[in-house]
Amino acid sequence: MARPAVILVGADKGGVGKTTVARTLIDYFGAHQTPTRAFDTEAPRGTLKRFHPELTEVVDVTLVADQMKIFDTLGSADAKVTIIDVRAGLLSSTLQALGEIGFIESAKKGQITFAVFHILGPSIASLEEIAETARVIGDANYFLVKNFINNTTFFEWDPSTYNSYFKKIKGADEITIPKLNEMAYEQVEVSSVPFVSFVGNKGAKGEAANNSFVLRGYVRHWLGNVWSEYDRVKLVDIVSPKVESNVRQVAG
C-alpha cells in the first residue's frame, strides 16, 4: 500500500499567505491526479474550506478528537496526500503535538512521508522560527517558502543573516512564490474558487463564469510559475515515490 503523505503548511505569524500556498498545493496535486484532502485549522470558520469545500474539513487541531480525525485516518483515507493549513501561531504547538503522539517518529521510520511548508514573514523573527521549527521536525522535508504574492518589498532581510540561518537547516529547500497582480488576486478571492477554476473560467459549481481574460491570464502565468517551483523540488516524487524504484529494489 502507498505510504500516506502529510504536508503541514504553517507559520507562527498571520497574514503571510499560508492558505494561499495551501490552495496552490491542492491545485497542484489535483493537476497530477494525486488524491488529496485538506484540513483547515481556522476553526470554526475556515478560509481554505471556502475555496475547496469538497476536499476540506475544518478542525481544531488543539483538540484530541480532531487530531484523531486527521492522523488516525491517514492509512484508511482515499486521499494519498493530506494537507494541513495550520492556523497562525499554532505551527510550533502543532509540531509539538505531532511529536507527542509519535507522528514525527513514524515519519523518521519511513512509515509516513512528512513535509513542512514554512511560510516566512518579512521580519527577523521569522528567522528565529526557522531554527525552532527545524529542531522539532526531525527528518521531514522542510521547505522555506518566501511568499511574494502580495508585496514586492516583502523581504528586507540582510541576505548574509538569512543564509546563515538557512545553511543551519540540513536538507531544507527554498521555494519562492512570485507576485501576482493585485486585481487578479482580489478577483479570485471574490470568486471564492480554486485558482485552476478561475483560470478555466469556471464558477464554484463548475458552471461557466465571466472572468476577465486578462486576469485569468495573469493567474495562469503565476500559477505556472508556482508549480514550476514545486516541480523543481520534485514534490510529486516526494509524496509518491516512483513505484519502479520499489520494483527495482525488490528485484535486487
Given the rule CB under 8 A, which residues bind other proteins?
A: 181, 183-184, 212-218, 220-221
Q: How far is the CB of 200 from other proteins (least distance, A)?
A: 12
Q: How far is the CB of 29 from other proteins (least distance, A)?
A: 23
Contact 43, 121 (CB under 8 A): no
Q: How far is the CB of 147 from other proteins (least distance, A)?
A: 21
**Cell digits for 2?**
502507498
Smaller CB separation from other proteins, 100 or 182: 182
Contact 55, 46 (CB under 8 A): no
Q: How far is the CB of 122 from other proteins (least distance, A)?
A: 25
Q: How far is the CB of 218 from other proteins (least distance, A)?
A: 6
Distances (CA, A) of 45 to 21, 42, 60, 91, 157: 18, 6, 10, 18, 33
Smaller CB separation from other proteins, 176 or 181: 181
Smaller CB separation from other proteins, 128 or 186: 186
Distances (CA, A) of 202 to 93, 116, 157, 194: 38, 31, 39, 9
DSSP label of 150: S
Smaller CB separation from other proteins, 119 or 188: 188
Best CA proximity match to 149, nearest among 52, 222, 214: 222
Q: Is 92 helix (H, G, I), strand (E, B) or coil?
A: helix
Smaller CB separation from other proteins, 11 or 219: 219
